[in-house]
Amino acid sequence: MSAMNHSTDLSASLKGQRVVITAGAGGIGLAIARMLHASECRIAVCDVSDDNLDRVASELEGVTAVKADVSRDEEVEAFFKQATDALGGLDALINNAGIAGPTSAIEDIDPEDWRRCLAIGLTGQFLCARLAVPHLKAAGGGSIVNMSSAAGRHGYAYRTPYSAAKFGVIGFTQSLAKELGPSNIRVNAILPGIVSGPRMEGVIRNRAERLGISEEAMTERYLQTISLRRMVTEEDVAGSVAFLLSDLGANLSAMSFNVDGNVETL
């Protein structure tokens, strides 16, 4: 088979793409939505926050914003019906939804907290992918980007549910890439590291409390584990997603991209 011709202009190859982003009204999801919207993608997002949904709907013209919890089958199905009706099909799915889960010793973790963390961070990706794939196939191919984490390649003490979910995302990604490649659907994972913002501030606060040290000392401890000695931004992650959706990423699949400044350990 001869090589396909692709545009080397990232924004030009994104223009008009129909994209679903889970948890797309806040944090990394909102950064992704903003970047893709600026490249004239057509976007549908879901989120569980009414305030965030109102904000994204008012900020990004034409975006379809729907309240949905990705761990609930019926809510995911209702969201995809609204999204694909509004977009007229689908070219890309960004499985971004996830929660931090509990910060606790294994013997102190409530089983329901464990289940909830995996339900949103891993099962939710399955629930969305199973509905997205028929539309991607109908479009002649497309892209799925699954959000993992540096915790998907490092063990993470006191964060076992989160790390287990993120390791699971890697296996899910590699399996789907093999299954869907013949349908011209590429599947990749992004592994953000320590992303600056309110969510990471909460993680640092909880972990500092668990270890009995100050938040400042906990922050410095995190930075010392990063080769570049700095956190990444939500925009760093969004840029990687945009690249994978563009023609520049057309032959990338089954990959795990560490957007983290090289986190050496957690």
* Strand runs labelled E in the chain: 18-21, 42-47, 64-67, 92-95, 142-147, 185-192, 256-259
- The closest of 73, 55, 70 to 20, measured between CA atoms, is 70
Q: Active site residue: 156, 158, 162, 222, which one?
A: 162
* Strand runs labelled E in 96-162: 142-147
- The closest of 146, 173, 143, 177 to 246, measured between CA atoms, is 143
162 is catalytic: yes
CA dihedral 177, 180, 183, 189 (to 10 degrees): -40
- The closest of 181, 179, 174, 143 to 1, measured between CA atoms, is 181
Give the DSSP letter string of 163-202: HHHHHHHHHHHHHHHHHHGGGTEEEEEEEE-SB-SHHHHH
What is the per-residue burial (b if ≥16 Cβ within 10 Å, else e) of 89-115? ebbbbbbbbbbebbbbeeeebeeeebe
Q: Answer for the pair 185, 91: CB distance below 8 angstroms, yes or no.
A: no
Q: Which two tokens stand for residue 211?
A: 């270890």
Positions marked active-site: 162
